[in-house]
C-alpha cells in the first residue's frame, strides 16, 4: 500500500472519430469507447479497474471526440463509481505521448507520485495495484504491462525483450517484420512524473513537435537504460479493434464477473414464469424477457454469452445466443435481421 500522502492519477486514452475505423459499423452511431461490452460502455471497464488503485485522486479521459458526446457519461460514471472522472478534449490527434504531454498541467494538479496510462480499447483484468507495487520495487521511471502470446501472432503488436531476472525492458520494437519475442506490450503503463521530462526531451530532438507516440518515440529509445521495466500478466488480454472482438471481450468480462460479482449476472429462477438462462448472461434491469410457457426443454428465451441492453424486449419463441442486443430493440420470431454480429 502507498503512504497516505501519495496521490495517483489515471489517464485513459479514448481516441476519436477518425480512429478505430476498423470497429465500424458499430461505432457509426455511438463513440467506440461508449459501445457496450458485458453490459457496460467499453471505457467503464478500465475506469472501474482504476478504483482499486490506492490513493487514486482523479481519472482523466483524453481524446478528440466532441465534449458533448462524453458529458452525460462522465457525470454518471463519476457519481456511480464515486471516482472523479474528467474528459479532456484534444484539438487534434497528438499521439499517445503527445496527448499526455498536452494536458500535463491538469494531470499534475494533484501533485501525483505516479501516473497510470491505459488505452481504452484494451480488454484485460487490469492488475493495476499489483503493477504499481512492482513498479515501486523496480525504482524506474515506468513499468509496462506485458503478456506472452504465440510466436505467430506476436508481430501484430509491440514486441519486447525483458531481463529474466530484473524485468528491465531491454529492447522494444513495434510490429517487427521478423520475430523478436513472444512478449508483447499490453498498452497499460504506470509512470513517475519524470515521463514528462522524457517526452519533452523527445520533442526537442524532433522537427515535428506536434505528434509523439509513446511506444516508438519513448519506449524504444529508453529501453536498456534502467528506466523502464515490465510486469507480466498471466490472465486474459485482448485488443478491441474489430466488431467481432466486442463479443469475445464481452465473454471475457462476463467470465470475470462470474468470479468477482456473480450477483450482476442473470440467473434462471427455476420457474415456469421465467426465462431459461444458459451460460454467462447480462441483461439490463429494464429488459423484458418473455417467460417460459412450455414444458421442460421447450422454452421461449434461451440465452448463452449474451448481453441485452436497456429497454430490450425478447418475445415468445425467441432464442438469443452469443449476441449483444443494443438498447430499445424488440426481438420476435418474425425478425430475421442480426442486431449485432
- Is residue 131 within 8 A of residue 232, CB to CB? The reply is no
Whether residue 156 is found in the same domain as residue 270: no
pLDDT digits (tens, 9 = 90+) for 136-195: 999 999 999 999 998 888 888 889 999 999 999 999 988 888 888 999 999 999 999 999
Tell me if 134 is assigned to some domain.
Answer: yes
Averaged pLDDT, 299-324: 59
Of 243, 274, 307, the residue that ends a domain is: 243
pLDDT at 120 over 60: yes
pLDDT-derived band at 338, boundaries 50, 70, 90: very low
Looking at residue 296, its pLDDT comes to 25
Percentage of the chain with pLDDT > 70? 78
pLDDT-derived band at 46, boundaries 50, 70, 90: very high
Whether residue 88 is found in the same domain as residue 31: yes
Looking at residue 125, its pLDDT comes to 94
Whether residue 43 is found in the same domain as residue 170: yes
Question: What's the predicted TM-score (pTM) here?
Answer: 0.86
Looking at residue 111, its pLDDT comes to 95
Of 210, 243, 276, the residue that ends a domain is: 243
Q: Indicate the pairing of strand 40-41 with strand 306-308.
A: unpaired
Tell me if 163 is assigned to some domain.
Answer: yes
Tell me if 258 is assigned to some domain.
Answer: no
Q: When comparing pLDDT for 225 and 254, which is higher? A: 225
Which domain range does residue 306 map to? 265-336
Terminal CA-CA length for the chain: 43
CA atoms within 13 A on the CB side of 257: 22
Whether residue 186 is found in the same domain as residue 276: no
Tell me if 122 is assigned to some domain.
Answer: yes
Whether the bond between 25 and the residue before it is cis, its omega within 30 degrees of 0, is: yes
Whether residue 54 is found in the same domain as residue 183: yes
Whether residue 302 is found in the same domain as residue 175: no
Looking at residue 7, its pLDDT comes to 94
Whether residue 80 is found in the same domain as residue 196: yes
Q: Indicate the pairing of strand 306-308 with strand 323-325.
A: parallel
Whether residue 227 is found in the same domain as residue 299: no
pLDDT at 32 over 60: yes
Instruction: Share the mean pLDDT of the chain.
Output: 83
Judged by average pLDDT, the poorest of 111-115, 193-197, 289-293 is: 289-293
Q: H/E/C letters for each residue in 305-338?
A: CEEECCCCEECCCCCECCEEECCCCEECCCCCCC
Residue 6 CA: distances (Å) to CA of 3, 12, 45, 90, 127 = 6, 20, 24, 28, 19
pLDDT at 297 over 60: no
Bridge partners, 146 (sequence order): 185, 232
Q: Which residues contact 133 (CB under 8 A, 6 or more apart)?
A: none
Averaged pLDDT, 330-334: 61
pLDDT-derived band at 292, boundaries 50, 70, 90: very low
Sign, Cα dihedral of 59, 65, 67, 70? negative
Q: Which residues contact 55 (CB under 8 A, 6 or more apart)?
A: 2, 4, 6, 7, 8
Q: When comparing pLDDT for 261 and 10, which is higher? A: 10
Whether residue 220 is found in the same domain as residue 317: no
Tell me if 149 is assigned to some domain.
Answer: yes
pLDDT at 29 over 80: no
Q: How far apart are CA 247 and CA 155, in angstroms?
A: 24
Sign, Cα dihedral of 260, 48, 64, 26? positive
pLDDT at 323 over 80: no
pLDDT-derived band at 220, boundaries 50, 70, 90: very high
Whether residue 180 is found in the same domain as residue 295: no
Q: When comparing pLDDT for 341 and 119, which is higher? A: 119
Whether residue 157 is found in the same domain as residue 291: no
Tell me if 230 is assigned to some domain.
Answer: yes
Averaged pLDDT, 113-140: 96
Which CATH number belongs to the domain containing residue 71 in this structure?
3.90.550.10
For the CA atoms of 106, 89, 81, 144, the dihedral, rounded to the nearest 10 degrees, stands at: -70
Count of domains forming the chain = 2
- Is residue 100 within 8 A of residue 62, CB to CB? The reply is yes
Looking at residue 320, its pLDDT comes to 67
Whether residue 235 is found in the same domain as residue 275: no
DSSP summary character for residue 225: T
- Is residue 33 within 8 A of residue 42, CB to CB? The reply is yes
Tell me if 193 is assigned to some domain.
Answer: yes
Tell me if 293 is assigned to some domain.
Answer: yes
Q: Indicate the pairing of strand 114-119 with strand 85-89.
A: unpaired
pLDDT digits (tens, 9 = 90+) for 48-95: 999 999 999 999 999 999 999 999 999 999 999 888 999 999 988 898
Sign, Cα dihedral of 186, 253, 13, 134? negative
Looking at residue 261, its pLDDT comes to 84
Amino acid at each position: 500500500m502507498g503512504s497516505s500522502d501519495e496521490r495517483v492519477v489515471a489517464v485513459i486514452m479514448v481516441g476519436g472519430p477518425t480512429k478505430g475505423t476498423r470497429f465500424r459499423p458499430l461505432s457509426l452511431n455511438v463513440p467506440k469507447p461508449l459501445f457496450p461490452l458485458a453490459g457496460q460502455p467499453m471505457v467503464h471497464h478500465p475506469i472501474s479497474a482504476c478504483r482499486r488503485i490506492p490513493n487514486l485522486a482523479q481519472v482523466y479521459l483524453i481524446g478528440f471526440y466532441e465534449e458533448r458526446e462524453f458529458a452525460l457519461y462522465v457525470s454518471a460514471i463519476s457519481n456511480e463509481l464515486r471516482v472523479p472522472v474528467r474528459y479532456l478534449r484534444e484539438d487534434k490527434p497528438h499521439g499517445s505521448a503527445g496527448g499526455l504531454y498536452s494536458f500535463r498541467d491538469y494531470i499534475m494538479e494533484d501533485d501525483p507520485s505516479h501516473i497510470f496510462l491505459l488505452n481504452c480499447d484494451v480488454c484485460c483484468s487490469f492488475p493495476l495495484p499489483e503493477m504499481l507495487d512492482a513498479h515501486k520495487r523496480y525504482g524506474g521511471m515506468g513499468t509496462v504491462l506485458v503478456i506472452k502470446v504465440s510466436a505467430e501472432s506476436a508481430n501484430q503488436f509491440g514486441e519486447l525483450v525483458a531481463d529474466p531476472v530484473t524485468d528491465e525492458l531491454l529492447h522494444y520494437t513495434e510490429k517487427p517484420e521478423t520475430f523478436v519475442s513472444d512478449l508483447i506490450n499490453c498498452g497499460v503503463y504506470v509512470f513517475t512524473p519524470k515521463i514528462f521530462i522524457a517526452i519533452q526531451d523527445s520533442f526537442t530532438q524532433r522537427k515535428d513537435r506536434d505528434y509523439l507516440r509513446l511506444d516508438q518515440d519513448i519506449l524504444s529509445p529508453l529501453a536498456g537504460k534502467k528506466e523502464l521495466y515490465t510486469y507480466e500478466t498471466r490472465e486474459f488480454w485482448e485488443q478491441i479493434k474489430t466488431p467481432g472482438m466486442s463479443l469475445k471481450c464481452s465473454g471475457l468480462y462476463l467470465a470475470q464477473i462470474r468470479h468477482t460479482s456473480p450477483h450482476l449476472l442473470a440467473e434462471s429462477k427455476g420457474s415456469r414464469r421465467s426465462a431459461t438462462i444458459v451460460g454467462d448472461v447480462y441483461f439490463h434491469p429494464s429488459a423484458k424477457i418473455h417467460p417460459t410457457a412450455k414444458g421442460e426443454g421447450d422454452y421461449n428465451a434461451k440465452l448463452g454469452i449474451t448481453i441485452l441492453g436497456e429497454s430490450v424486449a425478447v418475445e415468445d419463441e425467441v432464442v438469443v445466443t452469443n449476441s449483444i442486443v443494443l438498447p430499445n430493440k424488440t426481438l420476435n420470431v418474425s425478425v430475421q435481421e442480426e442486431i449485432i454480429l
